[in-house]
Amino acid sequence: MDFSIRNAQQEDMEQVLGLIHELAEFEKDPNAVEVAEEDLIKDGFGENKLFHCFVAEKENEVVGIALTYPRYSTWKGPVLHLEDLIVSEKMRGSGLGTALLNEVVKYGHNLGVKRISWEVLDWNEPAIEFYEKKGANVMRDWDVVQLDKNGIDSYLNNLNSPEKVK
Q: What is the DSSP string of 52-120?
A: EEEEEEETTEEEEEEEEEEEEETTTEEEEEEEEEEE-GGGTTTTHHHHHHHHHHHHHHHHT-SEEE---
CA 9/CA 62 separation, integer angstroms: 11
Residue 24 near residue 33 (C-beta atoms within 8 A): yes
* Burial annotation 89-125 (CB, 10 A radius, 16+ → b, else e): eebeebebbebbbebbbebbeeeebeebbbebeeeee
Q: Which of 72, 107, 131, 155 is catalytic?
A: 131
Helix (H), strand (E) counts: the chain: 5, 5
Can 131 be counted among the known catalytic residues? yes
Q: So which residues are the catalytic ones?
A: 131
